[in-house]
Structures are given as C-alpha cells and as structure tokens.
Structure 1
Amino acid sequence: MDGRGTGGAARIEVLGPPQIEAAAAALVRSHADYPAFRHVFPDPATRERALHPFFAATVRDALSFGEVLGALDGTTVLAVAVWLPPAAFPWSVGRKLRSLPAFMRVLAADPRSFRTFMGYGANAEHAHPEDSHWYLVVLGVRPDAQRRGLGSKLIEPVLRRADRDGVACYLETSDRANVAYYERFGFKVVDDALALVPNGPTHVAMRRSIHDEPTMPKPRRE
C-alpha cells in the first residue's frame, strides 16, 4: 500500500522524470487541506483530480528550469520541494504552452472552478517580486511522513546555495500555521494579506534576505 515503509530513514535526492507522477501524488496528499486549494476546489475528490495534473506540470517544468528535491523511502516519494532559481518565474509563454495538456486536465476535473484557478495563477505572477531570488514554489510532506524533519532536509540545501551565491529566497503560503515553521529558516513576513485567490483566503509572502544572517535550525533526529 502507498504508506508502506514510511517509518524508516528517508534519503534525499534530486528527482527525475520517472518520479513526476509519484511526486505529484505526494504533493496532492500533502495539500489536501491547504486553504487556497480548498477554496478553489471545495469538493475533496474533485480537488484531488484537479491538483494531480497541476502538480505534475509544476514538477515537470522545474526539472528543466529549476530543481526538485524529494525524500524517498525505497521508491516511495514521501516529500517534495520544488524550487525555481532567479529569473525562472513567471513561466515563459513557451513553458505555459508545454503545460497546456495538464491544465486541460484541470479544466476537465472541475470546469466551474477553472476560472478561479487560473485567476489564482495570474495573480501570483502579477504579485511576484522582481528582484533576484530562489522561489520555493511548493513544499509538501505526506501526512504519514510528517514530523520527521523531511521538510527541513528539502529546504536547507537550496538555502545554503542561496547563501553561497548571495541570493535571497521567497515563498507564499495560504496556511498561516506554516509561518512559524518558515521563520525557523530565516524567512520573514513581507506581506501578511497577499490577495492571490479571487474572493478566497489571503496568502502570507515571506522572504529570506542574505542580509538577515539567519541561523539554520539544527537537524532533527530521525
């Protein structure tokens, strides 16, 4: 079954094309109760059908233009972090066209919510800061693999790279319970009411500046 073997030590690796679907499935499970997606796709079954192609497209794009890190137990993907480097977001027209089939699957899953979903994406592009930064597009840990320090292990490698290169990092979250978690890594709130989802919950925008000299959290014991 899908959750088998999730109690052991996980290994961290850069994911590749054969793991796109498994990574998308892990992200869907980790975002089952994410406020923004609950607003856009109120029905849980519909939400799952719509989010899988969206996350698969997100992962596939980042394999070419960014970096996708995963925590695995055997072949099971437990957690995923999708990062885009400076200047890789918003997507170019060509990248959007390559992902069109995936977005048509989102449309087929919930035609009534598709306009809101696309508005969410357009607003995220419009509000995105223009300065040079690494963008944490999405971080997700399956519920049955949480509280094992996997998220930290997927965040820290890129934070170290950003520090080395003298580059900031940026993210948004609609789950305010995540704010304190990201603050552990040196992220600071730069906007606590970012309106991205049409008529939906606001997001918190967070930035990790190279000038803040944050303290990296101590690794948790597995």
Structure 2
Amino acid sequence: MRIERLEPARAAAAGQVFTASHSNYPGFAFMFPDPEARARALRPFMVATAHDAALHGHPLAAVDDDGVLGVALWMGPGEFPLTTSRKARMTPALLRVGWAAPRWFGRFIRVGASLERAFPSEPCWYLEAMGVHPRSQRRGVGTQLIEPVLRRADEDRMPCYLQTSDPANVAYYERFGFAVTQPAIVTVPDVHPYIGMHRSAAR
C-alpha cells in the first residue's frame, strides 16, 4: 500500500470508494432514505467533491496495484469553504444528485448549507471526507491517510477540524487527538445531527 496525493484523474475512483464506504453512513441515510436513490445520488456528488479537492486541496489516496483503497479529502487553511466559482463548477454534479433523488434534493442542499455555517472561523486543516473501501477496512488505511496531515498541522501549529454524522466515529477520531466541540450540529429537523470535532494546534 502506498499513500499518494489524489490527482484529478483519480476522482472517479475516489467517488467509487466513497459510494461504497458511505452507503450506510447515518447522514446520507437520513438525507436519502431509499438505498438505491442514495447510491445514485452519492456517486456524482462524491466524484465532484474529490475532483474539487484534488484541484484545490491536499487530498491523499491509499493505493495498491489493484487501485484506490481509501481517500482522505484534506483541505488546508483557507481552502474551505468553497469559493463561488468552485461552487459553480459543482453545479452539474448537484443537478445529477437532484435527478437521482428529486424527492430529497432540497433536504440535501439545506444540510450542506447548515454544515458550512458551522465551519470554524479560525484557519484550520479540514478533513472534508474520508472513506475506505469495505474490502480494505480494518487494515490501518485510515491511519495512514490521517497521520501525515496531522504531522504537518503540528509543524505549522495549526488546528484541525472535521464533521461526522456517525457517533461511532467519535472514539476513532479521539485516538488522533480530536475532541467533540459541537455535539449536535442541527441541519434540518428530520436529519440526524452532525458532530463537530476539533484538534488543537500543537504548542
């Protein structure tokens, strides 16, 4: 297994990893209750998100001879939230999400806007998304995707931040020094709340 920068050419492969790894992720399950619609909606959104990160962020991919095993979409200080022009380039993907799951598209957009409003005002490294393909989970892939950026953040004395809708992820990220600072980011009334976690800057 090798850890490499995720290049734009691998955005489609990254999207496939996220679609597989997040098929039962609580936030997406609440946004898109129908599993088939969820899969159709997730793929274009995650491909576009990975492509944006590859162009403007510091994403990492775990790869082997068979392809991409896992992806961490890290955004450096000032690289998130997206600028207006970057959001505009996401529009075709968002339209595909709407076509795939029209009944729940409005909910999806409102959740995204709420999560953006909860983003810290201070500069930080942001783990926008991380996913490991189910066939490669529990092999230390996630650790390999997280630790390089944490070392850089420590060198630069920068905090880190992430959001998760899965309470089971809290203990995992606490192992890396993250702590819950936003226990319930309310997005829309009928969607499971997200959790914001912060890792303090090294001193």
TM score, norm. by length of structure 2: 0.97
Q: Is 1:87–2:78 an aligned residue pair?
A: yes
1:196 Cα deviation (Å)? 2.5
Q: 2:20 aligns with which of 29, 34, 44?
A: 29
How far apart are the structure 2 equivalents of 1:135 and 1:163?
Answer: 14
Query: In the alignment, what sits opposite 1:220?
Result: none
Percent identical pairs in the alignment equals 50
Residues 112-127 of structure 1 aligned to structure 2 (within 5 Å): 112-127=103-118
1:197 Cα deviation (Å)? 4.4
Task: State the structure with more CA Rg.
Answer: 1
1:42 Cα deviation (Å)? 0.9
Q: Is 1:210–2:189 an aligned residue pair?
A: no
Q: What amino acid is the match of 2:117? A: H
Residues 104-143 of structure 1 aligned to structure 2 (within 5 Å): 104-143=95-134
1:99-127: CA deviations, max 9, x gaps? 11111100110111110000011001111
How far apart are the structure 2 equivalents of 1:79 and 1:64?
Answer: 18
How far apart are the structure 2 equivalents of 1:138 and 1:197?
Answer: 20
Task: Work out whether residues 23 and 59 of structure 1, in 8 Å CA contact, stay in contact via their aligned partners in 2.
Answer: yes
Which runs of 5 or more residues in structure 1 are unaligned? 1-9, 214-222
Partner SS, residue 99 of structure 1: helix
1:56-112: CA deviations, max 9, x gaps? 111111112111111112142111100111122211110011111111100110111
1:135-172: CA deviations, max 9, x gaps? 00001111111110000000011101101111000001
Query: In the alignment, what sits opposite 2:175?
Result: 184
Query: In the alignment, what sits opposite 1:76?
Result: 67
Task: Work out whether residues 29 and 143 of structure 1, in 8 Å CA contact, stay in contact via their aligned partners in 2.
Answer: yes
Query: In the alignment, what sits opposite 1:100?
Result: 91
How far apart are the structure 2 equivalents of 1:18 and 1:65?
Answer: 14
Number of aligned positions between the proteins = 203
How far apart are the structure 1 equivalents of 2:91 and 2:82?
Answer: 12
- RMSD (CA atoms): 1.1
1:176-205: CA deviations, max 9, x gaps? 000000000000110111112442111111
Q: What amino acid is the match of 1:53? A: P
Which runs of 5 or more residues in structure 2 are unaligned? none
Q: What amino acid is the match of 1:208? A: R
Query: In the alignment, what sits opposite 1:144?
Result: 135
